[in-house]
Amino acid sequence: MKRRHFLATVAPAALAIMIAGPALADAMADAKAVVAKYATKVDKWDGPTSGPKAAAGKSVVIVAADMKNGGILGVVNGIQEAAKAIGWKVNVLDSAGSIEGRTAAFGQALTLKPNGIIIAGFDAVEQKPSMAEAKKAGIPMVAWHAAPAVGPVEDVGVFANVTTDAMQVSKAAADYAYVDAGGKPGVVIFTDSTYAIAIAKADKMKAEIEALGGKVLEYVDTPIAETSQRMPQLTTTLLQKYGAKWTHSLAINDIYFDFMGPSLSAAGIAGDGAPKSVAAGDGSESAYQRIRAKQYQSVTVAEPLNLQGWQLVDELNRAFSGEKWSGYVSPLHVVTVENVEFDGGPKNTFDPDNGYRNEYKKIWGK
């Protein structure tokens, strides 16, 4: 009774602070826990340990969205490494960053009549007619970042879409910005509406920042393929518009930060100054270099690109054998200047020290 009387006599504003205080403390503790969880070493194999032996003598075509994209390049390198280990022939077709290029490359892939097709870095639904043709011809397809979710994309014939949990990647990036800003981030989010997965990731970052009580200053939709032309002037414009309110940049890919540095430097901002850049994927070589040098990028929530290349080959091998996809969701890693040397860091990539190459070779009988 006394407690009810006390609360009734407290001013509404003061009562709100009393209630919000513990909630804000809990939010900060939860965000710190997320960042800490994904910033640790990845040294235990949690992927498949059984599966079909290697199908012999297969030929595979990779249809890559844009080999200038560090994430796609890393995955393609992993596919080529795994294909050599399993004994397959690989042909890489670079679509050079345009829808027209991807349509032409997919047409070329079909002309080559491969045993399997690997889609790297673009939405499966974009090339639905070509994919329907591949499905009709009985050509198994696996993909990297072809849909927001991990696993089969049955309506377009993708046996397995390989990616980390995109929503966890986005949450980890947003949580880092929240913690780093002391609970008061002012963020600009960069995405590309050409890709469903990019919109899903950006929307998740926006929702997370706002749920934590931070502010999204602007949600910028600008094409990944045009970052080199657009980002320098866009950065300058955003600095003029928001000034010190802009504490962090959140982007769905490291490539946005490849072209921000000169504009930030010209504005007198130090390499480790605000706005700090945080990428929700993919862990490119240039991102690692910027983080290590403290030059205009603080974090990348990296994907294990090389491992994902091996997983794509393993999933395609399962498709050839008529088995189900493995169900494996690859790990993510919050890369900071403090842990940049973990798990492949000296090679400027997130390459988990969990023995995945040997694990896949054992499955394949190699």
- What's the pLDDT score for residue 6? 35
What pLDDT, in 10s, does the model give residues 295-309?
999 999 999 999 999
Q: How many CA atoms lie within 13 A of 132 on its CB side?
A: 6
Output the pTM of the full model: 0.85
Tokens of 252: 């769905």
Q: Is 275:234 a contact under the CB 8 Å cutoff?
A: no
pLDDT under 50 in the chain at which residues? 1-10, 13-20
Q: Is 357 left (phi over 0), alpha (psi -120 to 50) or beta?
A: alpha
- What's the pLDDT score for residue 2? 39
DSSP one-letter code for 87 = T
Backbone angles phi, psi at 225, to 5 degrees: -65, -15
Strands 186-191 and 248-251: parallel
The CA distances from residue 202 to 8, 189, 224, 242, in Å, are 42, 7, 13, 20
Distance CA 297, CA 277 (A): 5
Query: DSSP assignment of 179-214, as one string?
Result: HHTTT--EEEEEE-TT-HHHHHHHHHHHHHHHHTT-
Q: Which among 20, 16, 24 is positioned nearest to 182, based on CA atoms?
A: 24
Q: Which amino acid is at 101?
A: G
| Sign of the dihedral through C-alpha 338, 344, 350, 352 | negative
| Sign of the dihedral through C-alpha 61, 226, 260, 239 | negative
List the beta bridge partners of residue 158: 141, 153
Helix axes 285-293, 70-86, angle to 10 degrees: 120
Distance CA 65, CA 202 (A): 20
What is the percentage of the chain residues whose pLDDT exceeds 90? Answer: 85
Contacts of 122 (CB under 8 A, 6+ apart): 65, 95, 102, 145, 146, 195
- What's the pLDDT score for residue 125? 87
- What's the pLDDT score for residue 203? 97
